[in-house]
Structure 1
């Protein structure tokens, strides 16, 4: 069992950018502490709490966490945004969120349990010095915004939201944001969803991943003397497969409604192999991901379906003659 007495987690650097965007939108004073986290991959949860307290002292919002969450964009969520935009259903998206939630918001152990016809998503209680109503509500609000960004809105049905803090004077704000019954002074910070919601379809990718997929598919097709619709579907299937760590040739051939032998023969006619095509796509994706300063090399390795960061680094060195760190540093110098 995870001991939380001395627990000190971290949050993704993109959340620091989210606070900066909110502060600018509200014409708030931007502290040196907030400026200092803008180019960091991660920063301590204690600093996250302090930054929220600083902002709250300026705005005195009755539901600051909900207000900030309204400004979240996929780029603020990092790897989760990349991965989720390739998911087909809410169940798959939440599974990926559970797998990688600590890479975004490591403020406490996340638990997901089925209770009769409902699914409970909750955080374990942290020490008093690390948790407040604001940190709790922004954790739930970010999760709900995450769902609303990627799931078709008519399917978003929340059964209940629970907070451990006492009820504030104005609870209507919470009811309007979550569109669900709200309970305060509860044992856990918790979101209850109907189990049937897990089969709800995700939206078609319409942001970062979609742009990358389209751009990279076109670049790859331009390299082919006789690119076809089949080639375009192949690129997109591999791109999505890499996000899900499910890109084996058998899976991709099934998605393309052809046999493995037919796919291999098609690639052979282009003087290439399936593995070479996967590596081409990995290389192009890697250069895109490395341009996101908040994606760590470990996270990029996950996105490219490498079992270890070292395997990604070796592959990238073969592709470019540089390590990922060197390549990223060179790109940064070019943009100055």
Structure 2
């Protein structure tokens, strides 16, 4: 495996652990040496092993859409390529072209091209039929992963929730509602077309996360601080980490959070209550922590921070910050000028 492929498998394992899957059993059933993988050993994962990894993850999690939910939970940072995209791109279009060029580093099950017309730009996946035949289950899951990953990462490039114009892919009737929720678009069924289209207006938009190094260091700092407040395997920790990674899209709803972990909202509420915390308390704590660190850095205007934390109106952010700290964001930031 190359570095990006290994990074992907490690991110896969991290998400599986977050979903409480038994990693040793998952790897044993898939014919993968977990110790060699986690210790940085020289490990090759063949097509059958990769296919079995997906198959067993879906079985152990009782989640036929494991790939979809994996894509929803990850960022490009998890694949080790975000730096290349941010450093070499100033617009969404340039970033998309770099993602397309880097796709072979992550998977050889399909290639990706980008097509532009006057109204949309389309990311189209082109199966490698021989590799697809060798790993059919992995192929289906990776398709779902890449489609939702495209939506999620375009969100991150411009700090807004983007709704695709059109999606074509094969799917079952049972999967349709969850695909619509995660992909934010009613998919069109097709047995041999895998594509997702976005409004052309996004193509020339500037990337708003160009100061990636600072943002990543802040997230790591806040993440470390938050991790110290709860047990490593607690539901509080799982929810906090998900909120931190996706804070630039605003705080997701309880229903969305529960769906990501394949549990009901009522069950998630009960699990958090057992740990003497509520979902709203965790959401406010994450937003407060990030707001404080962004303001202290001195690298962002208050309005930028407001948008980065998912507030549509600066006034709403100011009210929330004053409720948390007793002072306005601008007043707090003056202490660090």
In structure 2, the partner of 1:19 is 12
In structure 2, the partner of 1:53 is 55
Higher helix residue share:
2
Q: Identify if the C-alpha distance between structure 1 residues 75 and 166 changes in structure 2 by more than 3 Å, giving closer, same or farther.
A: closer
For the residues of structure 2 that align with 1:45 and 1:148, how far apart are their CA atoms? 32
Q: Identify if the C-alpha distance between structure 1 residues 206 and 131 changes in structure 2 by more than 3 Å, giving closer, same or farther.
A: farther
In structure 2, the partner of 1:254 is none
Highest CA radius of gyration, 1 or 2?
A: 1
Q: Secondary structure of the equivalent of 1:139? A: helix
Q: Is the 8 A contact 1:9 1:44 kept in 2?
A: no
For residue 162 of structure 1, the aligned residue among 150, 157, 168 is: 168
Name structure 1 gaps, 5 residues minimum. Answer: 1-7, 213-336
Q: Identify if the C-alpha distance between structure 1 residues 64 and 89 changes in structure 2 by more than 3 Å, giving closer, same or farther.
A: same
In structure 2, the partner of 1:66 is 68
Tell me, yes or no, if structure 1 residue 202 matches structure 2 residue 207: yes
Tell me, yes or no, if structure 1 residue 172 matches structure 2 residue 165: no
Structure 1 residues 204-233: Cα deviation after superposition (integer angstroms, max 9, x where no partner):
245457568xxxxxxxxxxxxxxxxxxxxx
Q: Identify if the C-alpha distance between structure 1 residues 99 and 113 changes in structure 2 by more than 3 Å, giving closer, same or farther.
A: same
Q: Is the 8 A contact 2:7 2:78 kept in 1?
A: yes
Report which stretch shifted further, 61-70 or 126-135. 126-135
Shift of 1:143: 2.4
Q: Structure 2 matches for 1:75-114, cutoff 5 A?
A: 75-78=77-80, 80-86=81-87, 87-114=89-116
Name structure 2 gaps, 5 residues minimum. Answer: 218-337
For the residues of structure 1 that align with 2:33 and 2:195, how far apart are their CA atoms? 29
Q: Structure 2 matches for 1:1-336, cutoff 5 A?
A: 12-30=5-23, 31-32=27-28, 33=32, 35=34, 36-38=36-38, 39=40, 43-44=45-46, 46-78=48-80, 80-86=81-87, 87-127=89-129, 128-132=133-137, 133-154=140-161, 156-163=162-169, 165-205=170-210, 207-208=212-213
Q: Secondary structure of the equivalent of 1:149? A: helix
Structure 1 residues 11-37: Cα deviation after superposition (integer angstroms, max 9, x where no partner):
611111111111111111112427244
Structure 1 residues 87-106: Cα deviation after superposition (integer angstroms, max 9, x where no partner):
22110101111222212233
Per the normalisation by structure 1, the TM-score is 0.53
Report which stretch shifted further, 34-43 or 98-107. 34-43
Shift of 1:149: 2.8
Q: Identify if the C-alpha distance between structure 1 residues 66 and 27 changes in structure 2 by more than 3 Å, giving closer, same or farther.
A: same
For the residues of structure 1 that align with 2:2 and 2:49, how far apart are their CA atoms? 10
Q: Identify if the C-alpha distance between structure 1 residues 206 and 104 changes in structure 2 by more than 3 Å, giving closer, same or farther.
A: farther
Q: Secondary structure of the equivalent of 1:121? A: strand
In structure 1, the partner of 2:333 is none
For the residues of structure 2 that align with 1:12 and 1:207, how far apart are their CA atoms? 22
Q: Is the 8 A contact 1:9 1:108 kept in 2?
A: no
Q: Identify if the C-alpha distance between structure 1 residues 183 and 11 changes in structure 2 by more than 3 Å, giving closer, same or farther.
A: farther
Q: Identify if the C-alpha distance between structure 1 residues 11 and 123 changes in structure 2 by more than 3 Å, giving closer, same or farther.
A: farther
Q: Secondary structure of the equivalent of 2:203? A: helix
Shift of 1:55: 0.4
Q: Secondary structure of the equivalent of 1:70? A: helix
In structure 1, the partner of 2:227 is none
Q: Secondary structure of the equivalent of 1:85? A: helix
Structure 1 residues 163-207: Cα deviation after superposition (integer angstroms, max 9, x where no partner):
1x3424131111111111201234211111122210122222454
